[in-house]
C-alpha cells in the first residue's frame, strides 16, 4: 500500500503551492501544518461532508491536535445541494463560533462540492484566510488544483465564487479505496481529459494502463494523478484567472454541463457527462477537417474505461441545445467550443455553427441503441 | 461650481487605478467607460440605494446609454441592513436577469454601504467582473479607495468579503451638496483621520480651512478629498491585503466600532464614533509618554468641526469593553491599538493594557457632563 509521495508545484509567483500525492498522508496533517508555519494559536475549521466525515475526519483531527492545533468540525450534507449560499452562511457561523481569526485555516476534506464550498468560505471569511485542500475523490484531482471556488445560485451553477489558491493540496490516495466503481470511472474521465488537451504520451499511457488504474493500484494511480495534476497546474500557471488558455480545460464541458443540467444533477455523474461531451467535441474536430481518427480513438479509450459515449435515451436534444445557450462559457452570444486538433492538443474555436452542434447531439442520441 | 478635475492613482501594479475628483463628472460616465475600453456589448448593473436613486441614477444611465451601453438598475434599501447575504443574493439574481457576462461591470453609486455591497457582488459574480465606484458621500472617500468590500453576518460586521479593486473611482462632488450637515461633519472626520496618521501639514490645513470645508466650498473640498484619498492610496499601495501597515487606517476604530455596536448602528454615525475613538487613542498616547499636546489638539480640532469628543451618556463602559473583545482587529487575544506619536504620525501597539483603555473609556464618559 505504501509508496513514494509525489510532489509538484503550482507555479503562481507568490501564490505558488505544492500538491502532495501519496498514501497515509492524512495522518501527517499536523506535522505538515507545523513545518509550513501555520500558527498553533489560530483555530482551524475542518469542513467535510456526511459521506466522508466518520471515515477520515478523526485521522486529520487527531494529527492536528497532537501537533498542538485546535480544530472544529463542520459537516455538510453530501451532494451538490450543499453548494448554496444558505450552507455557506452556516459555515461562516461555524467559523465565527469556532473563533477563527485572520491567521486561521479552513480545510476542505472531501470531493469537489466540499472543496468549492469550503474554498469560498476561506476566500470570504474576514476577506480571506488560509485554505488547505484534502481531496477524497479522483474527480477532485481536478477541482482541488487551480483555485476556482464557488457556490451555486438557483438560476446558475458556480455563479458566486472567487479565484482563491490553497496553501497546499494534500492528496491521500487511501481515501480513494472506498469509492464506488462508477465514481472511479467518472473521476478517471477528467484524468484522461488532461491527457487529451496537453500530452499525447500520457493518453497513450492511460490507454495502456487502464486496468491497473481502474483497480486503483497505488503506484499506477499515483502516477496518473500526478500527471493529471501536472497538466492542470501548467495551464493554471499560465492563466490563473481564465482569461484565455485556461478555457482549454473545458474540453467536453459545454455539452457535458448541458447534459448534467437536462438529466438533473446527479443522474449523470460529471465525469460521465464530460466523457460524452469529449466524444462530441472530437466529432466537431472531424467537421473542421481534422483527422477522423481523433474521434474514433477518443471513443475507444472512454469505452475501455467503462465510460458512457452516448447520450442516454430520454434526454431531449432541444433541451440540451437550450441549456448550452445559458452556459456562461458563451461570451456575448457566440458559440465557443474547445476542439481537439490531435490526441493531446486542442484549440478554442468561437466559430462553431450551432447547426453542427445540433447535428452531433442528434447523432450521439440516435446511435444510442447501438452504443 | 465648476473647477479642475483632480486625479490620483492608487498604485497596485497591474491592479492600479485612478481616482477622479471633480464636479459634473456623473454626466461623463459614458465617455469615461468608452475611453477606458469597457466593451459596449457587455451589460452593466448599476447598484444604488433608495436615497440617491432618483437624484443621480438617471444622469449616469443617460450618459452610459448615449455611449451605447446597456444598463440595468438595482435599488437596495438605504442603510446598513442592506449589507446582508440576503440582499447580496438578490443582487446576484439581478445580475443574472440583466444578462451580465464576464466582461460586464457593476457600478456602485452611493455611500459606503452601496460600495461595500456592490463591490462584493462584483468580486464574486462569475468569480469577478469589472467594478466602478461612484461615491456620493464624504465618508465614502475612504471606503471607495482600497478595495475592501464586504457584507455583514448577524454575528459580526464586514465578516464576509474580499479585497477587490475597482477599475476607477469617479467622485462627483455635486452629489455631496445634498448631504445633511451631520453627515458632512461625520465624513470630514475620516478626512482629518488621514491627516492625523500621515501628514501633519494636512492636519494644519484642515484646521485652517474648517469653515470652508464645512460649507462644501468646491475647491477647498476637492483639495481635502484629494489629500485624504492620497493618504489612503499611499497606505493601500504599500499593503493591499492589510498584513501590517494598513492597520494604521484603523486609528480611532477600535473604540469607535465598539461605540457604534453598543449605541446601536445608526445612533452614532461612523465618523462621530471614530472621532471619539481618536480622542481616546490620543489619550493612550499620553499614557505611553508622548506629548499631551497631541490629545489636546486632537480634541480641539474635532470640536472645531462640530464632532463629538465624549461618549454619549447612556452608553455602558462594560458593554464598550466587551464589544472590543469581539472586534476582529484583536489578534490571538492581544489588545492592539493604533496610537499617535505626534499630530501626523502613528504606531501600532500590541501592548496596550486593557486597564488603561477602561480608564480612558470611563474618563471620556465621566466628563460627558462638561463636554
Residue B1 belongs to some domain of the structure: no
State chain A's mean pLDDT as an integer. 93
| pLDDT value for A267 | 85
Mapping DSSP to helix (H, G, I), strand (E, B) and coil, where does residue A345 land? strand
CATH of the domain at B42: 3.40.50.1970
Q: Do B124 and A162 touch (CB under 8 A)?
A: yes
Cβ-proximal residues to B120 (8 Å cutoff; 6+ apart), any chain: B88, B149, B150, B151, B160, B161, B162, B164
Mapping DSSP to helix (H, G, I), strand (E, B) and coil, where does residue A268 land? strand
How far apart are alpha carbons B219 and A32 in whole angstroms?
A: 58
Say whether both A171 and A75 belong to one domain.
yes
| pLDDT value for A157 | 87
Q: Do B89 and A153 touch (CB under 8 A)?
A: yes
Q: Cα B167 vs. chain centroid, distance in angstroms?
A: 18
Q: Is B334 a catalytic residue?
A: no
Say whether both B220 and B318 belong to one domain.
yes
Residue-range definition of the domain harbouring residue A359: 181-370
- Residue to mutate among A12, A130, A160, A325, with most B CBs inside 10 A, is A160
Contact B149, B164 (CB under 8 A): yes
The A residues from 159 to 218 touching B (CB cutoff 8 Å) are: 159-163
Say whether both B292 and B168 belong to one domain.
no
Parallel, antiparallel, or unpaired for β B148-153 and B130-135? unpaired
The B residues from 101 to 160 touching A (CB cutoff 8 Å) are: 101-103, 123-128, 148, 150, 153, 155-156, 159-160
Q: Which ranges of chain B does DSSP label H, i.e. alpha helix?
A: 29-35, 53-66, 85-97, 112-124, 140-143, 181-198, 200-208, 210-214, 218-238, 253-263, 270-287, 293-304, 317-326, 354-366
B102 to chain A, closest Cα gap in Å: 8
- Residue to mutate among B94, B104, B157, B159, with most A CBs inside 10 A, is B159
Residue B57's CB: how many other CB atoms inside 10 A?
A: 22
Q: Do B155 and A93 touch (CB under 8 A)?
A: yes
Q: Is A152 a catalytic residue?
A: no
Contact B143, B274 (CB under 8 A): no
Say whether both A166 and A17 belong to one domain.
yes
| pLDDT value for A371 | 46
**Taking CB atoms and an 8 Å cutoff, what residues of chain B touch A89?**
85, 153
Q: Cα B16 vs. chain centroid, distance in angstroms?
A: 19
Secondary structure in 3-state letters for A122-163: HHHECCCCEEEEEECCCCHHHHCCCCEEEEEECCEEEEEEEE
Going by the DSSP 8-state scheme, the letter that residue B105 receives in this structure is E
Residue B325's CB: how many other CB atoms inside 10 A?
A: 11
Interval A178-182 mean pLDDT: 94
Count of domains forming chain B: 2
How far apart are alpha carbons A238 and A247 in whole angstroms?
A: 11
**Which secondary structure element, helix H or strand E, spans residue B72, and what is its range?**
strand B71-76
A267 to chain B, closest Cα gap in Å: 25
Write the residue in A39, A124, A162 that is nearest to B127 by C-beta. A162
Residue B35's CB: how many other CB atoms inside 10 A?
A: 10
| pLDDT value for B1 | 43
Grid cell for residue B269: 454615525
* B40 interface with A at CB cutoff 8 Å: no
A97 to chain B, closest Cα gap in Å: 9
Q: Which of A154, A90, A157 is nearest to A118 (CA)?
A: A90
Residue A1 belongs to some domain of the structure: no
Of B157, B177, B197, the one marking the end of a domain is B177
The position carrying cell 501594479 is B13
Of A112, A145, A176, the one marking the end of a domain is A176
Catalytic residue, chosen from A250, A260, A283, A365, is: A250
CB-neighbour burial class of residue A133 (10 A; exposed 0-12, middle 13-18, buried 19+): buried
Q: Is the pLDDT of residue A14 over 60?
A: yes
B125 to chain A, closest Cα gap in Å: 5
Residue B290 belongs to some domain of the structure: yes
- Residues of chain B where predicted confidence (pLDDT) is lower than 70: 1-3, 265-266, 326-334, 366-371
Write the residue in B41, B96, B162 that is nearest to A159 by C-beta. B96
Say whether both A125 and A193 belong to one domain.
no
* B238 interface with A at CB cutoff 8 Å: no
CATH of the domain at B220: 1.20.1090.10
Q: Cα A68 vs. chain centroid, distance in angstroms?
A: 32
Say whether both B153 and B201 belong to one domain.
no
The count of residues in chain A is 371
Residue A285 belongs to some domain of the structure: yes
Say whether both A19 and A159 belong to one domain.
yes
Residue B190 belongs to some domain of the structure: yes
- Residue to mutate among B106, B160, B350, with most A CBs inside 10 A, is B160
| pLDDT value for A1 | 44
Say whether both A288 and A275 belong to one domain.
yes
Say whether both A161 and A90 belong to one domain.
yes
| pLDDT value for B2 | 53
Residue A144 annotated as binding site: no
Q: What are the pLDDT digits (tens) for A17-75?
A: 999 999 999 999 999 999 999 999 999 999 999 999 999 999 999 999 999 999 999 99
Of B159, B177, B195, the one marking the end of a domain is B177
**Which residue from B minimizes the CA distance to A42?**
B332
| pLDDT value for B371 | 46
Say whether both B165 and B200 belong to one domain.
no
Q: Which of A123, A151, A107 is nearest to B150 (CA)?
A: A123
Say whether both B216 and B266 belong to one domain.
yes
Which regions of chain A does DSSP assign to beta strands (E)?
6-10, 17-22, 44-49, 71-76, 105-110, 130-135, 148-153, 156-163, 168-172, 337-342, 345-349
Say whether both A251 and A326 belong to one domain.
yes
How far apart are alpha carbons A187 and A201 in whole angstroms?
A: 20
ipTM of the complex: 0.91
Q: Is the pLDDT of residue A331 over 70?
A: no
Q: Do A162 and B123 touch (CB under 8 A)?
A: yes
Q: Do B128 and A241 touch (CB under 8 A)?
A: yes
Mapping DSSP to helix (H, G, I), strand (E, B) and coil, where does residue B233 land? helix
Q: Which ranges of B99-180 does DSSP label H, i.e. alpha helix?
A: 112-124, 140-143
Write the residue in A102, A150, A331 that is nearest to B101 by C-beta. A331
Task: Calculate the alpha carbon distances from B235 to A31, A264, B9 in Å.
Answer: 37, 50, 12
Amino acid at each position: 500500500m505504501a509508496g513514494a509521495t509525489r510532489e509538484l508545484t503550482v507555479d503562481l509567483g507568490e501564490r505558488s503551492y505544492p500538491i502532495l500525492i501519496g498514501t497515509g498522508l492524512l495522518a501527517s496533517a499536523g506535522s505538515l501544518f507545523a513545518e509550513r508555519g501555520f500558527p498553533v494559536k489560530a483555530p482551524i475549521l475542518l469542513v467535510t461532508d456526511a459521506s466522508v466525515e466518520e471515515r477520515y475526519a478523526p485521522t486529520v483531527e487527531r494529527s492536528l491536535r497532537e501537533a498542538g492545533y485546535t480544530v472544529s468540525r463542520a459537516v455538510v450534507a453530501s451532494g451538490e445541494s450543499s453548494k448554496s449560499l444558505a450552507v455557506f452562511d452556516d459555515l461562516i457561523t461555524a467559523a465565527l463560533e469556532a473563533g477563527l481569526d485572520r491567521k486561521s485555516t479552513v480545510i476542505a476534506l472531501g470531493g469537489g462540492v466540499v472543496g468549492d464550498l469550503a474554498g469560498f468560505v476561506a476566500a470570504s471569511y474576514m476577506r480571506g484566510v488560509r485554505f488547505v485542500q484534502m481531496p477524497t475523490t479522483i474527480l477532485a484531482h481536478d477541482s482541488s488544483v487551480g483555485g476556482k471556488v464557488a457556490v451555486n445560485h438557483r438560476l446558475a451553477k458556480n455563479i458566486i465564487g472567487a479565484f482563491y489558491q490553497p496553501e497546499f493540496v494534500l492528496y491521500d490516495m487511501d481515501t480513494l479505496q472506498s469509492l464506488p466503481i462508477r465514481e472511479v470511472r467518472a473521476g478517471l474521465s477528467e484524468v484522461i481529459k488532461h491527457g487529451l488537451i496537453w500530452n499525447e504520451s500520457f493518453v497513450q499511457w492511460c490507454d495502456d494502463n487502464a486496468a491497473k488504474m481502474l483497480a486503483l493500484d497505488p503506484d499506477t494511480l499515483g502516477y496518473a494523478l500526478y500527471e493529471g495534476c501536472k497538466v492542470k497546474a501548467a495551464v493554471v500557471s499560465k492563466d490563473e484567472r481564465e482569461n484565455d488558455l485556461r478555457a482549454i480545460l473545458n474540453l467536453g464541458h459545454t455539452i457535458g454541463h448541458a447534459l448534467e443540467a437536462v438529466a438533473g444533477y446527479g443522474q449523470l455523474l460529471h465525469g460521465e457527462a464530460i466523457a460524452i461531451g469529449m466524444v462530441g467535441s472530437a466529432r466537431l474536430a472531424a467537421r473542421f477537417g481534422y483527422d477522423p481518427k481523433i474521434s474514433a480513438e477518443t471513443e475507444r479509450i472512454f469505452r475501455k474505461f467503462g465510460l458512457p459515449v452516448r447520450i442516454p435515451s430520454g434526454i431531449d436534444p432541444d433541451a440540451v441545445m437550450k441549456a448550452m445557450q445559458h452556459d456562461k462559457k458563451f461570451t456575448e452570444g457566440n458559440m465557443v467550443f474547445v476542439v481537439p486538433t490531435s490526441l493531446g492538443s486542442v484549440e478554442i474555436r468561437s466559430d462553431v455553427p450551432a447547426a453542427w452542434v445540433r447535428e452531433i447531439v442528434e447523432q450521439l442520441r440516435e446511435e444510442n441503441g447501438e452504443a
